[in-house]
Every structure is written in C-alpha cells, then in structure tokens.
C-alpha cells in the first residue's frame, strides 16, 4: 500500500470513529442515556411550578427538533458514504461537514433561545439557583475553547 493510500485510509477510519461518536451522543456530549442529568438536579431546587415549566418547555423543544435529529442522522450517513467511497472526494467531505455544522448551530441557537425564554420567567432568586448550578457544572471539567478550565 502506498503512503497516500495509507493516509487516506487512516483519515477515513478516524472520521468514521468521530462520526460514530457524534451519532451516539444526544448533543450533550454524554450519550443518549444521560439526558439532562445535571440540569435536572439544578431544576429540582426550584419551586414545583417552575420545575414543571422547565419540563414542559424541554419536552416541547425535544419534539420540535425530532426532525432535526433525524436529519442529522441522515447527514452522518451521507458523510460515511463519502468517506467510504472508492475515491475520496475532499470537497464533498468538507461540504457535508458544513451542512452538519450549520444544523448543529441552528439547534444550539434554538436551545439557547428556549433557555432564555425560561430564564425570563424566573425570579432573580430562582435565576441565581440556576446560575450557581451552571457554575458548579463548569467546575466539573468543562473547558473553554482555549483549553482553560472554566471558572
């Protein structure tokens, strides 16, 4: 096998592993079995009415984005086909990743907007509970873009 073929094969394997890991995750980076674990703990500290508000909003959002999750699975399948094709098409690979990134960005923006709507319905004291919970999560190992520990 030539060096070029080895490099392409190695790149394809790494890409498939990364794609598989992305499919296994539900967006939280923890896999589908751990949906909302930390936030459930934080939200449980709020009054019952506000807990129900959070649950309803999150369930509504989950249902609204079911189609986006299905679309993401389709895009990852298409990416896998590009990677495993007889000849590797770099431009198709990059274009497919742009589509995936755009869909992820849309989903993230919608989650942020939904969360902002929820926060707007909380009292300052309740928002402090949520903020303190988010801060604790940051200290459990999250890092910012530059690899520095979150504060």
- Tens digits of residue pLDDT in 10-53: 666 666 556 555 555 544 444 444 455 667 777 778 888 888 88
- pLDDT for 37 equals 61
Reported confidence tier of residue 147, pLDDT bands at 50, 70, 90 = very low
Is the pLDDT confidence value at 138 over 60? no
Whole-prediction pTM value? 0.57
Tens of pLDDT, residues 95-106: 999 999 999 998
For residue 64, what are the CA distances in angstroms to 26, 68, 76, 116? 15, 8, 20, 17
The pLDDT, as a whole number, for residue 45 is 81
């Amino acid at each position: 096998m030539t060096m070029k073929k080895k490099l392409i094969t190695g790149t394809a394997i790494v890409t498939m592993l990364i794609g598989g890991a992305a499919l296994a995750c539900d967006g939280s980076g923890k896999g589908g079995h751990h949906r909302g674990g930390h936030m459930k703990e934080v939200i449980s500290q709020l009054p019952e009415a506000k807990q129900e508000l959070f649950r309803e909003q999150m369930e509504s959002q989950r249902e609204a984005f079911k189609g986006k999750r299905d679309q993401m699975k389709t895009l990852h399948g298409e990416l896998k086909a590009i990677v495993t094709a007889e000849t590797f098409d770099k431009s198709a690979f990059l274009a497919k990743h742009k589509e995936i990134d755009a869909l992820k960005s849309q989903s993230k923006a919608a989650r942020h907007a939904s969360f902002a709507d929820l926060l707007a319905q909380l009292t300052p004291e309740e928002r402090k509970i949520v903020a303190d919970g988010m801060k604790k999560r940051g200290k459990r190992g999250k890092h910012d873009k530059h690899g520095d520990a979150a504060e």
